């Protein structure tokens, strides 16, 4: 019996090891959309640990593809790690929104990004707080859409809207966007390009792309509130 268990465990370990390159690729791809202070090795470690756990529970009779079974769960473990960093306080939520608003105004008037020093002076905040808030904003921009919608308010609330209704709201908002803005959202969410890659494709600054993305999130949130969902 012990020999059989050892053989099963070895087969499970070999299965997990065979998909480690896929975990590494996922981590590096995610890292491209995260601030520099997030280490890719941490993402790989978290993902690999989850992969091993999943190999222990995998039942080929129920799932004919191990990676099909594991991929979403491995990605979820990386998201859980980002959430665990707890980079956003109630105060920072307000500061992030103020930074977004001032950045949008500044870009529209000057066609370039405001410096951290400028934002610190205009908003009356310590420059390190400005930097921390921007990092927090970048992290939350990578999380699932429902969490971004909740993040847009000081007090997070539970979403009470059906998935079909949310899809309809998003579809209707997308129709109101310019072709360029629609393309930005498509490239970001569906093609999973990072801001630098989108910037190179469309020849728009990364900050402007980030602001467009955040403005779309705000529009979705407002429509959900009108629908009585939140």
Long-range CB pairs of 128-134, under 8 A, 24+ apart, other chains included = 129/92, 129/95, 130/95, 130/99, 132/87, 132/92, 133/92, 133/95, 133/96, 133/99, 134/35, 134/96, 134/99
- From residue 51, alpha-carbon distances to 21, 66, 68, 196 in Å are 11, 10, 12, 29
Mean pLDDT computed over 98-110 = 85
Distinct helix (H) and strand (E) counts, the chain? 12, 0
Question: What's the rounded Cα separation, in Å, for the pair 224 and 230?
Answer: 6
At 30, list the tokens.
Answer: 């995610």
pLDDT higher than threshold 60 for residue 130:
yes
pTM of the model: 0.61
| Main-chain dihedrals φ then ψ at residue 20, nearest 5 degrees | -60, -35
Q: 61-85, pLDDT tens digit by residue?
A: 787 888 888 999 999 999 888 888 7
15 close to 7: Cβ distance less than 8 angstroms: no
To the nearest 10°, report the CA torsion of 132, 133, 136, 140: -170
Mean pLDDT computed over 199-221 = 82
Q: 35-67, pLDDT tens digit by residue?
A: 777 899 999 999 999 999 999 888 877 878 888
- From residue 68, alpha-carbon distances to 13, 61, 186, 220 in Å are 17, 13, 23, 30
């Amino acid at each position: 019996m012990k020999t059989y268990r050892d053989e099963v465990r070895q087969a499970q370990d070999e299965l997990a090891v065979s998909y480690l390159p896929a975990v590494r690729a996922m981590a590096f791809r995610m890292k491209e959309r995260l601030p520099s202070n997030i280490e890719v090795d941490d993402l790989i470690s978290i993902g690999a640990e989850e992969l091993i756990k999943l190999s222990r529970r995998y039942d080929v009779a129920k799932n004919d593809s191990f990676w099909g079974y594991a991929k979403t769960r491995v990605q979820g473990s990386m998201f859980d790690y980002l959430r665990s960093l707890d980079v956003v306080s109630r105060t920072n939520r307000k500061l992030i929104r103020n930074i977004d608003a001032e950045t949008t105004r500044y870009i529209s008037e000057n066609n370039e990004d405001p410096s951290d020093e400028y934002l610190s002076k205009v908003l009356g905040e310590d420059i390190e707080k400005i930097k921390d808030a921007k990092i927090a904003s970048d992290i939350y921009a990578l999380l699932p859409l429902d969490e971004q919608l909740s993040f847009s308010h000081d007090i997070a609330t539970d979403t009470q809207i059906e998935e079909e209704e949310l899809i309809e709201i998003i579809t209707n908002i997308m129709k109101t966007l310019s072709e360029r803005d629609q393309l930005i959202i498509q490239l970001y969410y569906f093609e999973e390009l990072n801001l630098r890659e989108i910037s190179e494709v469309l020849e728009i600054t990364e900050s402007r792309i980030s602001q467009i993305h955040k403005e779309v999130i705000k529009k979705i949130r407002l429509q959900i509130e009108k629908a009585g969902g939140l």
